[in-house]
Chains A and B, each alone.
Chain A
Amino acid sequence: MKLMTCPINGTRPISEFAYWGEIRPAPDADTCSDDQWAEYVFHRNGAPGVKKEWWCHTPSNTWFIAERDTEKDKVLRTFLHGDDK
């Protein structure tokens, strides 16, 4: 079983975590076309590479961001939202 490191609770087994999805910038809802919006809502990029994703440590309800290399199957780092500097 894989391990994941929660920025607050430390390294825990992956079964304690929930994955939410890749962080993707939404187009401006007021100015984008219907097609652009549909593209954002329905299309995901499955190509392997480094992705930033929302993850939650469920027992403590701690949300954080994981930078993950899906090609190498490796979590590069995890941090709280806003600590990305």
Chain B
Amino acid sequence: MKRLPAMPDEWLDRSRTVRFRFEGRTFEGLSGDSIASALWAAGQRSQGRSFKYHRVRGILSAANHDVNVMLQDGPKLNTRGDVVAVREGMDLTAVNTFGGLANDKARHLNKLSRFLPVGFYYKAFHNKRLFPLWEKMFRRITGLGVVDFSTPHIRTQKRYDFCDVLVIGAGPSGLAAALSAAEAGASVVVCDENARAGGSGLFQLGADAARRQHTASLLQQVKSNPRIRLLEGTYAGAYYADRWVPLIDENRMTKMRAKSVILASGAYEQPSVFRNNDLPGIMNGSAMQRLIYRYAVKPCSTAVVLAANADGYRVALDLLAAGAAVAAVLDMRASVPASPLADALRAKGVEILGGHAVYEAHADGKGELAGVTACRIDGAGRVVSGSQRRISCDGVAMSTGWSPAANLLYQAGTRMRFDDLLQQFVPEQLPEGVFACGKVNGVFRLESRITDGQRAGLAAAANAGFEVSASITVPAETESPSHAWPVVAHPDGKNFVDFDEDLQVKDFENAVQEGYDNIELLKRFSTVGMGPSQGKHSNMTALRILARLTGKSPQQVGTTTARPFFHPVPLSHLAGRGFSPQRHSPLHGRHAAAGAVFMQAGAWERPEYYAVPGKSRIDCIREEARRVRTAVALIDVGTLGKLEIRGPQAAEFLNRVYTGRYDNMKVGATRYAVMCDDSGVLSDEGVVARIAEDVFYFTTTSSGAATVYRELSRLNIEWKLDCGLINLTGSYSAMNLAGPASRKVLAQLTDMDLSSAAFPYLAVRTGTVAGIPARMMRVGFVGEWGYEIHIPAEYGATLWDALMKAGESSGIGPFGVEAQRLLRLEKGHLIVSQDTDGLTNPFEVGMDWAVKLDKPFFTGKRSLQIVRKMPLKRKLVGFRLGENHSGEVPKECHLIIQDGDIAGRVTSISWSPHVGRFIGLAFVLPSMSESGTAFQIRLTDGSMVNAEVCDTPFFDPKDERQKEIE
């Protein structure tokens, strides 16, 4: 056992032990342990297998940013063992093995590695013939966890939140920033991906209690500040425009909108590159410190520390304090800078070797670390031959450099600059409202990080509108935290740069040799940074290698794009609940009670037809249509857009927006209206009714209601005419009472004069129906005597019931959208956006009569003048199939073929009981538009159906049904 005595900030609850299984064996840990720390404490150093060569792996970062320890936890796959807390009863297996971790059948791939060169996938898939073979193999051997398809469906709610200042990262600089911003008056949220706040301030100690005390005191102040909310175990997943940051915790995503965002996200420690740098026992120095101070686990008995900065010296001191021996500190810098840290180590008898590195690591029989060969390196990082010397150890701490956790800074559009002293990219120009402090800002000394946090906190508060007077300067760094070339060459390779993808130094050399010498190309060819950790431990080193190979500076090489999300998010967090609003007409309940089968029509749910038990859909529709033609029936048309315009210039307004004339209409009349856009394309249609000299009531299509109202409002602002527009779509209910018996039914409910003389076809009248104030129009959309009755929405159901009751003896019933479509087709009436498309002009659909080009202006007029001069490209015509058509019936959008070429398409088609054939509307070439022209329609299966152009309307061409039946 390697468990240490209690640490001041340890995450453990020592009163509770946790039993779990790993790879079939039972282990015991403490509550608060990560899976990896519990295993490590129990002496289990091999915890996973690598992706490509199936090499044994252990802890690398213990920071959630590598995938050495990736586990399947029941239905939860790809659990990162280095941070996920161990729970009682867990049954864990390493992903990516064939036959278990210890005896992985794919482990021999390690020996075949030279047959798996860089760009292997890339090359394999180049051969079309072999593609299926490779695909089959790759599908079997790649991929990580196993999906359990019986996993229960979880509904994850999303949450919205707001704050003045969002601080990402609760290490020393983030905590200091939060306090300063809060003291300036801002409401602050601090989030940290770790289970507990404090960051490196509570583990990068160098056995110095005073350093710990700085951060512990900041944390105490943050926790007791009422203006600060501290969110632990919560990471900022991405940065989106205008300071919108999704915060991800175990249970949900919170969409946080902040006035200022501070990135205090720190830096990722980067593995050094030498042969066998992936053996279990070799880890980042910060990982050893996390093990010691968070989990009270002694990382090893005897360590070699590979250092290139002060952090490495602190790791050595922390190891000594934890009771481990330090065999040597190998400092990759040419000489060891004088410092109290070095003095302290020397005083404890630790050998410090400047200009040294690890040449290679050696494994024991289990493939775990047993020792290293150290070597001298020259100023250019080359191994000095003959300088090799072997050192026994069971731990190597790598502390040779950092890469800023700048993912969200890049996403926010920050311009970054490579700083040669720091050997790190630092923000050069931050976007408005975004701030950075601490290591991500290139500030590494603890005191400086706290000062930098205070500076950023005040600046963020000022940006959020709080008064700030103090100005703070942060002293410049004097020591580089990162080595420019943390790479040691070795003829036998296996010096890994990317642990996710098993990429070695030579892979980069080969890729560049093959011409992939641009960072973006190199990434795609070699797959560097494309594994689950997205290059957090490899991109910086890859960039250094590419820079050296191409003779460029890191600044010139540049970085790849860091896209959201910065860390994997469970799909259930993203899926959550959708939002698609639906509209119901005021009569919805009546439809449902009458057995309506609803269909989606834009945002509306409309009755497609009313189901009758024992009858098929098509029979129900035909029966509804028959009722309209022979008796009387009622349809809800309340989804139509219903607008009113009032004022002295109301008629002028309508003259400008529709193609027809409305100034010469008599009060009490209605007129069909066609709307075009600037290019002369037919965009909407409806009926305009003149209610009074300066009041017009008009309808739009159901689907166009919202956009037409919106555009007319805009035009009214632009034109400044003396009139006002009101949208009555939602406040009015409308229904069409149609059929030969409609007048008889209506007469029972109103004392209005319904005679043809007093209320002729296409007239509008106001009065009361069943005691309800109503506007009524005599319309003929379905081709029967009928009344479109518009009333305030709250009376809709009352009127519906009254009409149904009054019509009982006439055999009344409701009819749905499908029956209406058939009836209007028999009349040859088009439906905008079904029988027209985004290019249709009024002349193509025979609406020349509705276009008044002699008006001074209307939208689309100038374009229609041009279109008028050009020959028509197509024409909408009626057609019918043969008298005894049998077999499949064409559908809307089936093509019309002439001489092997496309000559048009079907826009509507239906069986017409009146004609006794299938009838329809279709676009055809103008040369084919003559009545009687035969043509062919191609079905989906390629077979042809004969059809013939015919005159419309198919039914009652002279509108005799609208005339007085005497």
User: Residues on A close to B: CB < 8 A?
Assistant: 1-3, 18, 20, 29, 32, 34, 37-38, 41-42, 54, 56, 58, 61, 63, 73, 81
A18 to chain B, nearest CB (A): 7
A1 to chain B, nearest CB (A): 5
Question: Could you tell me if A38 and B866 are in contact, using CB atoms closer than 8 angstroms?
Answer: yes
B379 to chain A, nearest CB (A): 45
Please give me the residue from chain B that is nearest to A11 by CB atom: B242
Question: Could you tell me if B242 and A2 are in contact, using CB atoms closer than 8 angstroms?
Answer: yes
Question: Could you tell me if B718 and A81 are in contact, using CB atoms closer than 8 angstroms?
Answer: yes
| Seed contacts A32-B862, A38-B863, A54-B714; 13 additional CB < 8 Å A-B pairs | A1-B241, A1-B242, A1-B255, A2-B241, A2-B244, A20-B711, A29-B857, A34-B866, A41-B678, A41-B679, A42-B679, A61-B709, A61-B710
Do A18 and B710 contact each other (CB < 8 Å), given the known contacts A1-B242, A2-B242, A81-B717?
yes
B240 lies within 8 A of chain A by Cβ? yes
Please give me the residue from chain B that is nearest to A62 by CB atom: B713
Main secondary structure of the interface of B (DSSP, over half): helix
Do A37 and B240 contact each other (CB < 8 Å), given the known contacts A29-B857, A81-B717?
no
B642 lies within 8 A of chain A by Cβ? no
Q: In this complex, which of B244, B255, B862 has the most chain A Cβ atoms within 10 angstroms of its Cβ?
A: B862
Q: Mark B844-886, 1 if CB is under 8 A from A, else 0.
A: 0000000000000100011100100000000000000000000
- In the bound complex, what is the Cα–Cα distance between A38 and B866 (angstroms)? 9
B898 to chain A, nearest CB (A): 30
> Cβ of A61: which chain B residues have Cβ within 8 Å of it?
709-710, 713, 727
Please give me the residue from chain A that is nearest to B860 by CB atom: A41
> Cβ of B727: which chain A residues have Cβ within 8 Å of it?
61
* 16 A-B pairs in the complex with CB atoms less than 8 angstroms apart: A1-B242, A2-B242, A2-B244, A3-B242, A18-B710, A29-B857, A34-B866, A37-B862, A37-B866, A38-B866, A41-B678, A56-B710, A56-B714, A61-B710, A61-B727, A63-B713
- In the bound complex, what is the Cα–Cα distance between A34 and B255 (angstroms)? 51
Question: Could you tell me if A1 and B244 are in contact, using CB atoms closer than 8 angstroms?
Answer: yes
Please give me the residue from chain B that is nearest to A81 by CB atom: B717
> Cβ of A32: which chain B residues have Cβ within 8 Å of it?
862
A35 to chain B, nearest CB (A): 9
> Cβ of B240: which chain A residues have Cβ within 8 Å of it?
1
A82 to chain B, nearest CB (A): 8
- In the bound complex, what is the Cα–Cα distance between A41 and B679 (angstroms)? 6
From residue 695 to 726 of chain B, which have CB atoms closer than 8 A to chain A? 709-711, 713-714, 717-718
- In the bound complex, what is the Cα–Cα distance between A42 and B678 (angstroms)? 9
From residue 255 to 278 of chain B, which have CB atoms closer than 8 A to chain A? 255
Question: Could you tell me if A29 and B713 are in contact, using CB atoms closer than 8 angstroms?
Answer: no
Question: Could you tell me if B861 and A29 are in contact, using CB atoms closer than 8 angstroms?
Answer: yes
What total of chain B residues lie within 8 Å of the partner, measured CB to CB? 20
> Cβ of A42: which chain B residues have Cβ within 8 Å of it?
679
- In the bound complex, what is the Cα–Cα distance between A34 and B870 (angstroms)? 12
- In the bound complex, what is the Cα–Cα distance between A61 and B255 (angstroms)? 26
Q: In this complex, which of B255, B709, B863 has the most chain A Cβ atoms within 10 angstroms of its Cβ?
A: B863
Residue A29 contacts which of B242, B679, B862 (CB distance < 8 angstroms)?
B862
Please give me the residue from chain B that is nearest to A32 by CB atom: B862
> Cβ of A63: which chain B residues have Cβ within 8 Å of it?
713-714, 717
Please give me the residue from chain A that is nearest to B240 by CB atom: A1
Please give me the residue from chain A that is nearest to B160 by CB atom: A13
Do A58 and B710 contact each other (CB < 8 Å), given the known contacts A2-B242, A29-B857, A41-B679?
yes
> Cβ of A3: which chain B residues have Cβ within 8 Å of it?
241-242
B659 to chain A, nearest CB (A): 15
B905 to chain A, nearest CB (A): 24
A34 to chain B, nearest CB (A): 5
> Cβ of B861: which chain A residues have Cβ within 8 Å of it?
29
- In the bound complex, what is the Cα–Cα distance between A66 and B551 (angstroms)? 48
A62 to chain B, nearest CB (A): 9
> Cβ of A2: which chain B residues have Cβ within 8 Å of it?
241-242, 244
B162 to chain A, nearest CB (A): 12
> Cβ of B242: which chain A residues have Cβ within 8 Å of it?
1-3
- In the bound complex, what is the Cα–Cα distance between A29 and B711 (angstroms)? 21
> Cβ of B862: which chain A residues have Cβ within 8 Å of it?
29, 32, 37
- In the bound complex, what is the Cα–Cα distance between A20 and B707 (angstroms)? 11
- In the bound complex, what is the Cα–Cα distance between A73 and B240 (angstroms)? 13
Question: Could you tell me if A41 and B863 are in contact, using CB atoms closer than 8 angstroms?
Answer: yes
- In the bound complex, what is the Cα–Cα distance between A20 and B709 (angstroms)? 13
> Cβ of A73: which chain B residues have Cβ within 8 Å of it?
241
- In the bound complex, what is the Cα–Cα distance between A38 and B862 (angstroms)? 9
> Cβ of B866: which chain A residues have Cβ within 8 Å of it?
34, 37-38
Do A20 and B714 contact each other (CB < 8 Å), given the known contacts A37-B862, A37-B863?
yes
- In the bound complex, what is the Cα–Cα distance between A37 and B718 (angstroms)? 20
Please give me the residue from chain A that is nearest to B856 by CB atom: A30
A13 to chain B, nearest CB (A): 8
A56 to chain B, nearest CB (A): 6
- In the bound complex, what is the Cα–Cα distance between A3 and B243 (angstroms)? 9
B655 to chain A, nearest CB (A): 15
> Cβ of B857: which chain A residues have Cβ within 8 Å of it?
29
- In the bound complex, what is the Cα–Cα distance between A38 and B709 (angstroms)? 26
Please give me the residue from chain A that is nearest to B870 by CB atom: A34
- In the bound complex, what is the Cα–Cα distance between A48 and B718 (angstroms)? 26
Please give me the residue from chain A that is nearest to B706 by CB atom: A58
> Cβ of B255: which chain A residues have Cβ within 8 Å of it?
1
> Cβ of A1: which chain B residues have Cβ within 8 Å of it?
240-242, 244, 255
B910 to chain A, nearest CB (A): 35
B254 to chain A, nearest CB (A): 14
Please give me the residue from chain A that is nearest to B863 by CB atom: A41
- Report, nearest first, the 5 A-B pairs whose CB atoms are least far apart: A29-B862, A2-B241, A3-B242, A63-B714, A41-B679
B845 to chain A, nearest CB (A): 20
B718 to chain A, nearest CB (A): 7
Please give me the residue from chain B that is nearest to A40 by CB atom: B678
Please give me the residue from chain A that is nearest to B677 by CB atom: A41
> Cβ of B718: which chain A residues have Cβ within 8 Å of it?
81
A74 to chain B, nearest CB (A): 8
Q: Mark B221-261, 1 if CB is under 8 A from A, else 0.
A: 00000000000000000001110100000000001000000
Please give me the residue from chain B that is nearest to A54 by CB atom: B714
> Cβ of B863: which chain A residues have Cβ within 8 Å of it?
37-38, 41
A17 to chain B, nearest CB (A): 11
> Cβ of A58: which chain B residues have Cβ within 8 Å of it?
710
> Cβ of B713: which chain A residues have Cβ within 8 Å of it?
56, 61, 63
- In the bound complex, what is the Cα–Cα distance between A26 and B862 (angstroms)? 11
- In the bound complex, what is the Cα–Cα distance between A25 and B534 (angstroms)? 49
Please give me the residue from chain B that is nearest to A58 by CB atom: B710
> Cβ of A34: which chain B residues have Cβ within 8 Å of it?
866
- In the bound complex, what is the Cα–Cα distance between A68 and B828 (angstroms)? 47
> Cβ of A18: which chain B residues have Cβ within 8 Å of it?
710
B159 to chain A, nearest CB (A): 15
> Cβ of A81: which chain B residues have Cβ within 8 Å of it?
717-718
- In the bound complex, what is the Cα–Cα distance between A37 and B861 (angstroms)? 11
- In the bound complex, what is the Cα–Cα distance between A3 and B240 (angstroms)? 11
B664 to chain A, nearest CB (A): 22
Please give me the residue from chain A that is nearest to B255 by CB atom: A1
B184 to chain A, nearest CB (A): 22
- In the bound complex, what is the Cα–Cα distance between A1 and B862 (angstroms)? 39
- In the bound complex, what is the Cα–Cα distance between A63 and B711 (angstroms)? 9
Q: Mark B673-695, 1 if CB is under 8 A from A, else 0.
A: 00000110000000000000000
- In the bound complex, what is the Cα–Cα distance between A42 and B863 (angstroms)? 11
Q: Mark B822-861, 1 if CB is under 8 A from A, else 0.
A: 0000000000000000000000000000000000010001
Q: Mark B386-416, 1 if CB is under 8 A from A, else 0.
A: 0000000000000000000000000000000
Please give me the residue from chain A that is nearest to B679 by CB atom: A41
A8 to chain B, nearest CB (A): 12
